[in-house]
């Protein structure tokens, strides 16, 4: 429970005593404010909205409420005109939060908002036979963290890698492979080789118009289940997926399903029939479309002139499938902002089909990764870019470790955790809609607002516990005077804030709030560490302070876990 929630509950029971029944704790929670100045308390409650229910002036109401609120966690409940200002009893709150965090461990901040309901989340979803782009990396890490946050709140996320493994390009690829391909070359470097073939196809098609037709024919064969076409397609898919797996393994991301676009091939007629039955299909230049004129959107393309289905058709079939399979509370799509219109169209078509669950579908868009102000794209033929970025980060971290902590055990594993963590954190600390400037320095420094900084703070706190001979599991005693200063209170208030941050991160599908939070907690903790002699002479004082350190460790570790980062105990 967050401290605001605690205040809200006290106010709520006071309101009940005054005879006000229709103010829920949630509503009170929404009304609570953080005073601009700590001299005005830790939390403030404005009484204006109660004037009507109680038929009294707000200053009178705050006066009466104050009389009904007493709790050892408050040092004072002050009436300031129409406001009620709450001052915490720092000692009691400190003890309370440390106790809560240590006893709950990684479950601190858990809620049951999701009540076990399913949430399919579409993430990563690279295209077979094409390089894994920066956009796919963003989708992977944002989607994975969002899924972690969902399960923190009691939802059951279902991670779906909706692979781009269907479409006319596979017809072209088959033609290109049959004409110019080489099995060994594809096996050695699948994505690079397939990309080369694909590029060659387009170059040749400039002068040889028949190629495009052959491509279409082969895709048609594929759609109709031709053995040779299917065999080649399966092979391209397997090889590509194996390449992508290297990246997923490094990132520590796994999927519940890799049912990509092809999976919906046999589910497409149904969606077309349904659209037909509902009278939503119209013809436009030989193609079948659903008009979205009333929403000022271009029509949604369902079938091409040659009968081939499209990206949107497959997303419609996938939506129906996910709804039937999972009976979802929400369905999420973590896909770049360039596809905003596509998802608006898909959701609108479902709405027009009469599916009211379409309102529970959300596109979670994000911005671009820029390098020197330009879109960071995978250079032609140079396809291992992302693996290179990860490898470079791991390499650089290893050098820092060699320098700073040469005797560290398991240097390679730690370098991997920190290097990969740096890349993930660099992405997640920015609000997802903002474009990000790719910067090695900003990513890797142990001092700035980075993953390594938070991980390092965590490791430092762990070694402090060891140095102080901390024994976990004992009774939690906080002696007077041990945790009294501004520095420790700042840490305590940060710890209190964690559950609230997690709820907002859930509401906004926004892992960056968790990233900003762990940075702040790490900074606040480091200030405490710099100002207070934690491993003090006095045994009881030392114990008390180490309890706070142990609580910080729990929350940093959990925050990092939610973002998809490891928290090594030494680095």
Cα gap 162→267, rounded to integer Å: 15
- Which segment (44-52, 73-81, 120-128, 450-458) binds ligand ARG by CB under 6 A? 120-128
- Which segment (122-130, 221-229, 241-249, 474-482) binds ligand ARG by CB under 6 A? 122-130
Can you tell me which residue has the tokens 């909205």? Answer: 49
Encoding tokens for residue 416? 């991997």
Q: Which is nearer to ligand ARG, 324 or 372 (CB)?
A: 324
| Beta-carbon count within 10 A of 213 CB | 14
- Which segment (125-133, 295-303, 368-376, 550-558) binds ligand ARG by CB under 6 A? 125-133
Q: Which is nearer to ligand ARG, 132 or 201 (CB)?
A: 132
Q: Where are the alpha helices (DSSP H) in 181-226?
A: 183-188, 190-207, 210-223
Q: Which is nearer to ligand ARG, 290 or 335 (CB)?
A: 335
Q: Which is nearer to ligand ARG, 333 or 529 (CB)?
A: 333
| Per-residue CA distances from 68 to 18, 172, 440 (Å) | 9, 75, 56
Return the biggest CA–CA distance within the chain: 88
Residues 444-483 that bind ligand ARG (CB under 6 A): none
By CB under 6 A, residue 563 contacts ligand ARG:
no
Q: Which of 164, 215, 421, 564 binds ligand ARG (CB under 6 A)?
A: 164
Q: Which is nearer to ligand ARG, 255 or 333 (CB)?
A: 333
- The minimum distance between CB 141 and ligand ARG, in angstroms, equals 15
Q: Give me the phi and psi of 334, to 5 degrees please.
A: -95, 90
Q: Which of 259, 335, 390, 400 binds ligand ARG (CB under 6 A)?
A: 335
Closest to 180 measured CA to CA, from 209, 158, 205, 162: 205
**Applying CB under 6 A, what is the total number of residues that bind ligand ARG?**
9
Cα gap 475→181, rounded to integer Å: 69
- The minimum distance between CB 339 and ligand ARG, in angstroms, equals 7
Q: Which of 138, 162, 352, 542 binds ligand ARG (CB under 6 A)?
A: 162
Put residue 349 in one of left, alpha, beta given phi > 0 → left and psi -120 to 50 → alpha. Answer: alpha
What letter would DSSP give residue 164?
A: B
- The minimum distance between CB 165 and ligand ARG, in angstroms, equals 9
Q: Which is nearer to ligand ARG, 5 or 257 (CB)?
A: 257
Q: Which of 223, 315, 500, 543 binds ligand ARG (CB under 6 A)?
A: 315
Q: Which is nearer to ligand ARG, 61 or 268 (CB)?
A: 268
Give how far the C-alpha of residue 466 lies from the chain's centroid of Cα atoms, to the nearest Å.
33
- The minimum distance between CB 264 and ligand ARG, in angstroms, equals 10
Q: Which is nearer to ligand ARG, 345 or 457 (CB)?
A: 345
Q: Which is nearer to ligand ARG, 135 or 568 (CB)?
A: 135
Cα gap 35→118, rounded to integer Å: 38
Residues 4-33 that bind ligand ARG (CB under 6 A): none
- Which segment (96-104, 118-126, 242-250, 464-472) binds ligand ARG by CB under 6 A? 118-126
CA gyration radius, the chain: 28
By CB under 6 A, residue 125 contacts ligand ARG:
yes
- Which segment (23-31, 124-132, 396-404, 514-522) binds ligand ARG by CB under 6 A? 124-132
In three-state form (DSSP H/G/I as H, E/B as E, the rest C), the secondary structure along 270-329 is HHHHHHHHCCCEEEECCEEEECCHHHCCCCEEEECCCCCECHHHHHHHHHHHHHHHHCCC
Sequential DSSP letters for 505-554: HHHTT-THHHHHHHHHHHHHHHHHHHHS-SS-SSHHHHHHHHHHHHHHHH
Q: Which is nearer to ligand ARG, 127 or 457 (CB)?
A: 127
Q: Any idea of the CA torsion for 383, 386, 390, 396, to the nearest 10 degrees?
A: 70
By CB under 6 A, residue 330 contacts ligand ARG:
no
- The minimum distance between CB 266 and ligand ARG, in angstroms, equals 18
Q: Which of 85, 127, 156, 493 binds ligand ARG (CB under 6 A)?
A: 127
Q: Which residues contact 8 (CB under 8 A, 6 or more apart)?
A: 25, 26, 28, 29, 32
- The minimum distance between CB 245 and ligand ARG, in angstroms, equals 17
Q: Which is nearer to ligand ARG, 223 or 261 (CB)?
A: 261
Encoding tokens for residue 280? 């939503």
Residues 500-529 that bind ligand ARG (CB under 6 A): none
By CB under 6 A, residue 165 contacts ligand ARG:
no
By CB under 6 A, residue 122 contacts ligand ARG:
yes
Q: Which is nearer to ligand ARG, 126 or 421 (CB)?
A: 126
Q: Which of 45, 333, 453, 517 binds ligand ARG (CB under 6 A)?
A: 333
Q: Exposure of 129 by Cβ count < 10 A (0-12 exposed, 13-18 middle, 19+ buried)? A: buried
Q: Give me the phi and psi of 473, to 5 degrees please.
A: 95, -15
Handedness of CA 353, 508, 257, 242 (dihedral sign): positive
Q: Which is nearer to ligand ARG, 122 or 223 (CB)?
A: 122
- The residue of the chain with the least Cβ separation from ligand ARG equals 164
| Beta-carbon count within 10 A of 410 CB | 11
- The minimum distance between CB 130 and ligand ARG, in angstroms, equals 8
Can you tell me which residue has the tokens 């994000």? Answer: 366
Site residues (CB under 6 A) for ligand ARG? 122, 125-127, 162, 164, 315, 333, 335
């Amino acid at each position: 429970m967050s401290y605001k929630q605690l205040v809200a509950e006290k106010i709520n029971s006071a309101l009940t005593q005054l005879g006000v029944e229709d103010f829920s704790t949630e509503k009170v929670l929404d009304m609570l404010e953080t005073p601009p100045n700590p001299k005005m308390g830790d939390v403030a409650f404005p009484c204006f909205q109660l004037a009507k229910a109680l038929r009294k002036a707000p200053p009178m109401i705050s006066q009466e409420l104050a009389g009904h609120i007493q709790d050892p966690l408050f040092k004072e409940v002050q009436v300031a005109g129409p406001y009620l200002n709450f001052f915490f009893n720092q000692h009691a709150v400190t003890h309370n939060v440390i106790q809560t965090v240590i006893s709950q461990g990684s479950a601190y901040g858990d809620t049951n908002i999701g009540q076990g309901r399913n949430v399919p989340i579409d993430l990563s979803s690279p295209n077979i036979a094409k390089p894994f782009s920066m956009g796919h990396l963003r989708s992977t890490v944002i989607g994975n963290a969002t899924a972690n946050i969902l399960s923190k709140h009691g939802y059951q996320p279902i991670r779906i890698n909706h692979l781009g493994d269907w479409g006319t390009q596979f017809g072209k690829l088959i033609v290109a492979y049959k004409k110019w391909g080489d099995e060994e070359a594809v096996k050695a470097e699948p994505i690079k080789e397939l990309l080369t073939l694909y590029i060659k196809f387009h170059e040749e098609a400039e002068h040889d118009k028949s190629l495009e037709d052959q491509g279409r024919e082969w895709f048609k064969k594929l759609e109709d289940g031709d053995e040779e076409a299917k065999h080649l397609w399966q092979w391209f898919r397997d090889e590509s997926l194996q390449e992508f797996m290297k990246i997923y393994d490094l990132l520590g991301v796994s999927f519940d399903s890799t049912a990509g676009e092809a999976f919906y091939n046999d589910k497409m007629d149904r969606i077309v029939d349904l659209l037909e039955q509902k009278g939503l299909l119209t013809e436009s230049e030989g193609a079948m479309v659903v008009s979205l004129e009333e929403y000022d959107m271009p029509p949604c393309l369902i079938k091409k002139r040659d009968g081939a289905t499209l990206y949107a058709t497959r997303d419609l079939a996938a939506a129906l499938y996910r709804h039937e399979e999972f009976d979802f509370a929400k369905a999420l799509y973590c896909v770049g902002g360039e596809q905003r219109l596509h998802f608006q169209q898909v959701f609108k078509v479902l709405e027009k089909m009469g599916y009211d669950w379409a309102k529970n579908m959300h596109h979670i868009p994000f911005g671009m990764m820029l390098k020197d102000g330009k879109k960071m794209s995978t250079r032609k033929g140079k396809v291992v870019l992302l693996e290179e970025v990860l490898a470079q980060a791991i390499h650089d971290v290893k050098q820092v470790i060699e320098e700073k902590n040469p005797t560290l055990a398991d240097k390679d594993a730690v370098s991997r955790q920190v290097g990969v963590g740096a890349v993930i954190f660099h992405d997640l600390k920015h609000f997802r809609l903002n474009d990000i400037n790719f910067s090695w320095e900003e990513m890797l420094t142990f001092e700035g607002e980075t993953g390594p900084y938070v991980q390092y703070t965590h490791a430092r706190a762990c070694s402090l516990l060891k140095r102080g001979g901390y024994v976990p599991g004992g009774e939690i005693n906080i002696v007077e005077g041990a945790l009294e200063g501004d520095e420790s209170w700042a840490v305590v208030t940060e710890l209190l804030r964690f559950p609230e941050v997690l709820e907002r991160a859930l509401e906004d599908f926004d892992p960056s709030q968790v990233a900003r939070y762990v940075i702040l907690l790490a900074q606040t903790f480091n200030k405490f560490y710099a100002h207070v002699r934690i491993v003090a002479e006095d045994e009881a004082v030392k114990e008390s302070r180490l309890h706070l350190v142990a609580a910080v460790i729990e929350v940093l570790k959990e925050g990092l876990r939610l973002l998809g980062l490891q928290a090594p105990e030494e680095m």
